[in-house]
Amino acid sequence: MCYIGYAVYYIHQYIQLETLHVFAIAAFIIISKIDTNKKSNVLLLLCSAVLLIAYYKFQATSFLYLSLIILTIETMNVYIGKMNLNAYILLLICSPIYNFVSTVIGFPLRLQLSKIAGYLLSFIVKDIVVIGNMLRIDGNDFAIDQACAGLNMLTAAAIFTLLLIEVNRKKLQKEIPFFAYLFLYSSMLIFNIVSNIFRIFILTLFKVFPENNWHEYIGIICFVCYILVPMYWLIPKIFIRYGKAVDTKVHEIKHQWLMYILFIGIITFGFYTILNMNSIKASLPQNETLHYAALTNYDTITVEKEVVKYSDDEHLIYVKPMKAFYSSEHNPLFCWTGSGYLMKEFEERKFKDHLIYFGKMYKDKNEIYTAWYYTDGNKITNSQWQWRWNALNEKKKYFLINISANSNDELNAILSKMIM
The CATH number for 389's domain is 3.40.1000
Q: How many Å apart are CA 232 and CA 184, to the nearest integer? A: 11
Last residue of a domain, one of 212, 245, 278: 245
The CB density around residue 400, as the number of other CB atoms within 10 Å, is 20
Does a structural domain hold residue 253?
no
The answer to whether 414 touches 317, Cβ cutoff 8 Å, is: yes
The verdict on 232 and 314 lying in the same domain is no
Q: How many Å apart are CA 297 and CA 308, to the nearest integer? A: 14
Does a structural domain hold residue 8?
yes
The pLDDT, as a whole number, for residue 65 is 75
Q: pTM of the full predicted structure?
A: 0.61
Secondary element (H or E) of residue 232? helix 229-242
The verdict on 217 and 306 lying in the same domain is no
Give the type of residue at 85: L
Does a structural domain hold residue 278?
no
Does a structural domain hold residue 256?
no
pLDDT digits (tens, 9 = 90+) for 14-32: 565 566 666 666 766 655 5
The verdict on 237 and 300 lying in the same domain is no
Last residue of a domain, one of 223, 245, 267: 245
Q: Which of 398, 412, 420 has the alpha carbon at shortest distance from 349?
A: 412
Number of domains in the chain: 2
The verdict on 58 and 186 lying in the same domain is yes
The verdict on 194 and 323 lying in the same domain is no
pLDDT per residue of the chain (420 residues) written in tens, 0 to 9: 777 777 777 766 656 556 666 666 676 665 555 555 666 677 778 888 888 888 877 766 777 777 887 787 777 777 776 666 676 677 677 666 666 666 666 666 766 777 777 777 777 777 777 665 567 676 666 666 554 445 567 777 888 888 888 888 878 888 888 889 889 989 998 898 888 888 877 877 777 776 778 877 888 888 888 888 999 999 999 999 988 886 656 555 555 667 777 777 777 877 777 777 666 555 544 546 677 777 888 888 887 667 888 888 888 898 888 876 666 666 676 666 656 677 767 788 888 888 898 888 887 778 888 898 999 888 898 887 788 888 877 778 888 899 999 888 899 888 988 887
Does a structural domain hold residue 217?
yes
The answer to whether 354 touches 373, Cβ cutoff 8 Å, is: yes
- Residue 45 lies in domain: 2-245
Does a structural domain hold residue 348?
yes
pLDDT digits (tens, 9 = 90+) for 260-303: 777 777 778 777 777 776 665 555 445 466 777 778 888 888 87
The verdict on 108 and 229 lying in the same domain is yes
The verdict on 8 and 81 lying in the same domain is yes
The verdict on 155 and 223 lying in the same domain is yes
The pLDDT, as a whole number, for residue 172 is 85
The verdict on 81 and 8 lying in the same domain is yes
The verdict on 299 and 240 lying in the same domain is no
**Dihedrals phi, psi of 310, to nearest 5 degrees:** -110, 140
Does a structural domain hold residue 133?
yes
User: Which residues lie across from 354 on neighbouring strands?
Assistant: 351
Does a structural domain hold residue 287?
no
The verdict on 58 and 162 lying in the same domain is yes
The verdict on 301 and 411 lying in the same domain is yes
